[in-house]
Amino acid sequence: MKVRKLVVVGGVAGGASAAAKARRCSEEVEIVMYEKGPDISYANCGLPYYLSGVIEKREDLLITSSEFFRRRFRVDARTRCEVVEIDRKRKRVVVNNLATGLTEEEAYDRLVLAPGSHPIIPPVPGVDLAFVSTLKTLEDTDRIFSFLKEKKPRRAVVVGSGLIGVEAIENLALKGLEITAVELAPQLLTFLDWEMAEKVRWHMQHKGVKIHLSEGLASVEEKNGQGIVRTDQGREILTDLVLISVGIKPNVDLAKNAGLKVGITGGIKVNEFMQTSDPDIFAAGDCIETTNLVTGKPTLTPMGSAANKEGRAAGANALGRRVAIKGFTGTIIVKVFDLTVAKTGLSEREASLEGYSPLALYVDPSQHAGYYPGAKALSIKTVTDRDSGRLLGAQVIGEEGVDKRIDVLATAMYHHMSLEDLLNLDLAYAPPYSAARDPVIIAGAVGQNYYQGDWDPITPQELKEKMTSGEDIVLIDVRNRLELKERDPLPGAIHIPIDLLRREVEKLDPHKETIVYCAQGLRSYLGNRILNLKGFKRVKTLSGGLDNWMYEMGTKDSGSRTD
C-alpha cells in the first residue's frame, strides 16, 4: 500500500523525530503532526537548567519550530491541537483544536503515536494550589520561572527524588532557594542501591539540602500567606513553593480507547519496529513499552534519547522501512551538584528480584592518573551474575569521568560481556584521561581475581549483618596508623597494618572467619591473599573498604535499607 498520508500525534522528541524521518523516506507523503502544547520539539531535558539560569535564554530551549518543520520538512505541524480519538476502522483521528475549540477529523494511511507521558500527582489535598507545580513541560517551566521572578520564593519543597526531582533540587538551590526534599522511599534515586544513593544524599546534605526519607506527602495548604507541606510522618514544612516529581506515566488513553494493546508496564505494546497491535499504527517515546536488554523483559524507558531513536524508527517504518530498535540496557545519568550519578543495567536489588544471585563488587579508583592534576575518586559498583560471571549492571558516582565509564559499561552489557572480560578492553590511556589501569579495567581485574579464587568479597551490608547478629568473626583493619586517626576503625576490629600482617599472622586463628578491610579494598585484598596463602580458609575482604561503609556517618543504620 502506498502511504499517502501520515499523521503524527505528539510533536516533541518522538513525534518530531518520526515526522522528520518520514519526510526523508518520501517526498510525496503528506505529513500532519499534532502537538497539544504550544511548542514542538523543545528541549525537555533542559527545563530544570533554565530555572537556575544555567541555560540563560528561553529561546535556547526551542530546538525548532512549526514554521521550520513546514519549511524544511514540509510537515504540517499543528500546535495546540489534541488528538482525542482514533477511529481505526475509518482510519481517521478526531482532533480538538485547543485554540479555536473546534473539533476536526483527519484521515491517515499510517499513524505514529508519540503523546509522551504525564506526571503522577499524589491524590492528596492541596496539590492544586497555585504554588504547587510539576516540572514536565515548557509550560510548567514558564509558570515556575514567572513564579520565581515575581514571588521571589525563599524556600521550596521538592516531593520525589527521581531524575527530575534531583535536577530540580540542584537548580532551585543554585537559584538561592532553601530546599527540603521529601521522598517516600527510604533512599533517593531508587534506581540505585541504597549505599550508592547514600553517597548522593550526603553530597546533597553537604550542599545544604534538607532531606526526609521514608516520608510521603500528606497534604499541602496555604495559611497566612505561606505554604505548609505535611508529610505522612506528621512533619510540617513551611514553604513558598512546592514541586511535585514523584514519577511519570505513559499517555495511553488514546491508544487504549482505540483498542490497541497496552503492556503490563502500562506502556503501549510495540514490536521492535515500533509497530503497535494495529499494523498501520506505530508508536514511540515515553508512551511505549520497551525491552530491557539485560532481562529480556518489558520495561519503560522514558528518556529523550530513547524517544529520538524510537521516533526515527517509527517514522521510517510507517513509510515501509524496517528499522529495528532492540531495546535498552537501562542507562541513566544525572548531575547532582558536583557529582555525576549513573547506572546501567540492574542494581543489586533489582538483580535479586529478577532471581539472580548477584555478586556485588566495589572499586574506588581515580578517574585519571593520580599524579596528573585534578584526580578525583570514582565509586563504581558492579553487579554480576555470580554463576555465569555475566555483568548485569553497574553504578558509578564521582565528580569526573563518570559518563565515560557508564557508557563503556553499557556498551559492554549490550554485548553480554562478563565482568572478567572487561579486563581485555583496550581503553584509551594518557594521564589526562585515565590511569594505566582504567577504572573499568580495575573492575574487570577485581572480578577476575574473584573468579580465580583469589579473594572472597563481603559487602558492607553483609558485614553489618554479621556484626549486628554478633557472629564470631575476626575483623582486621590493615590501614596505617595515621588513617586510623582520620577515620575510626569498625567496632571490634583489630589493627594490623598491611606491611606487618605477615609477621603477625601467627597470632591469628586460621580456622576463624576473618574479615580484612582497608580504606578502599586494595590492601585488604593483599591481606586476603597473604592469609589465604598462609592457610587461612575463611577469609573475606570488605569490598570497597571503609569508603564504601555507609552506616556510621548516615542518620540511619542498616534498618533503613530498602530490601
How many residues contact a second copy, by CB under 8 A? Answer: 90
**Cell for 74?**
514540509
3-class SS letters over 46-96: HHHHHHHCCCCCHHHHECCCHHHHHHHHCEEEEECEEEEEEECCCCEEEEE
Q: What's the rounded Cα separation, in Å, for the pair 359 and 143?
A: 47
Site for a second copy in 523-542 (CB under 8 A): 525-526, 529-530, 533-534
Query: Is residue 445 close enough to count as binding a second copy by CB under 8 A?
Result: yes
Q: What's the rounded Cα separation, in Å, for the pair 316 and 26?
A: 9
Query: Is residue 506 close enough to count as binding a second copy by CB under 8 A?
Result: no
User: Looking at beta carbons only, is 258 or 300 nearer to a second copy?
Assistant: 300
Q: With contacts defined by CB under 8 A, name the span among 41-49, 112-120, 148-156, 279-287 that binds a second copy.
A: 41-49
The residue type of 530 is I
Shortest gap between Cβ of 549 and a second copy (angstroms)?
Answer: 24
Q: With contacts defined by CB under 8 A, name the span among 43-51, 188-196, 216-224, 458-466 that binds a second copy.
A: 43-51
Q: With contacts defined by CB under 8 A, name the span among 95-103, 139-147, 214-222, 429-437 that binds a second copy.
A: 429-437
Q: What's the rounded Cα separation, in Å, for the pair 168 and 180?
A: 11
Contact between residue 211 and residue 412 where contact means Cβ atoms under 8 Å apart: no
Site for a second copy in 126-165 (CB under 8 A): 163
Q: What's the rounded Cα separation, in Å, for the pair 518 and 455?
A: 14
Which x/- pattern over 390-409 shows residues binding a second copy (rule: CB under 8 A)? -------------xx-xxx-
User: Looking at beta carbons only, is 25 or 94 nearer to a second copy?
Assistant: 25
Please give the helix or strand (H or E) that residue 340 lies within, else none: strand 339-345
Shortest gap between Cβ of 26 and a second copy (angstroms)?
Answer: 7
Please give the helix or strand (H or E) that residue 408 lies within, else none: helix 402-414
Shortest gap between Cβ of 152 and a second copy (angstroms)?
Answer: 24
CA nearest to 478, candidates 505, 452, 460:
505
Among 95, 258, 363, 423, binds a second copy (CB under 8 A): 423
Query: Is residue 432 close enough to count as binding a second copy by CB under 8 A?
Result: yes
Residues known to be catalytic = 45
Site for a second copy in 52-91 (CB under 8 A): 54-56, 60-61, 63, 71-72, 74
Among 233, 357, 388, 424, binds a second copy (CB under 8 A): 424
Site for a second copy in 238-267 (CB under 8 A): none
The residue type of 275 is Q
Query: Is residue 412 close enough to count as binding a second copy by CB under 8 A?
Result: yes
Among 277, 299, 411, 560, binds a second copy (CB under 8 A): 411
Q: What's the rounded Cα separation, in Å, for the pair 386 and 373?
A: 37
Shortest gap between Cβ of 227 and a second copy (angstroms)?
Answer: 29
Q: What's the rounded Cα separation, in Å, for the pair 6 and 18?
A: 10
3-class SS letters over 160-197: CCCHHHHHHHHHHHHCCCEEEEECCCCCCCCCCCHHHH
**Cell for 139?**
509550560
Q: Kind of pairing, strands 391-398 and 339-345?
A: antiparallel
CA terminus-to-terminus distance, the chain: 53
Which x/- pattern over 314-343 shows residues binding a second copy (rule: CB under 8 A)? -------x-x-xxxxxxxxxxx----x-x-
Contact between residue 121 and residue 160 where contact means Cβ atoms under 8 Å apart: no
Query: Is residue 428 close enough to count as binding a second copy by CB under 8 A?
Result: yes
Site for a second copy in 287-306 (CB under 8 A): 293, 303-306
Among 33, 35, 39, 49, binds a second copy (CB under 8 A): 49
Which x/- pattern over 470-499 shows residues binding a second copy (rule: CB under 8 A)? ----------------------------xx
Query: Is residue 102 close enough to count as binding a second copy by CB under 8 A?
Result: no
Query: Is residue 312 close enough to count as binding a second copy by CB under 8 A?
Result: yes
User: Looking at beta carbons only, is 69 or 551 nearer to a second copy?
Assistant: 69
Site for a second copy in 172-231 (CB under 8 A): none
Q: What's the rounded Cα separation, in Å, for the pair 317 and 275?
A: 8
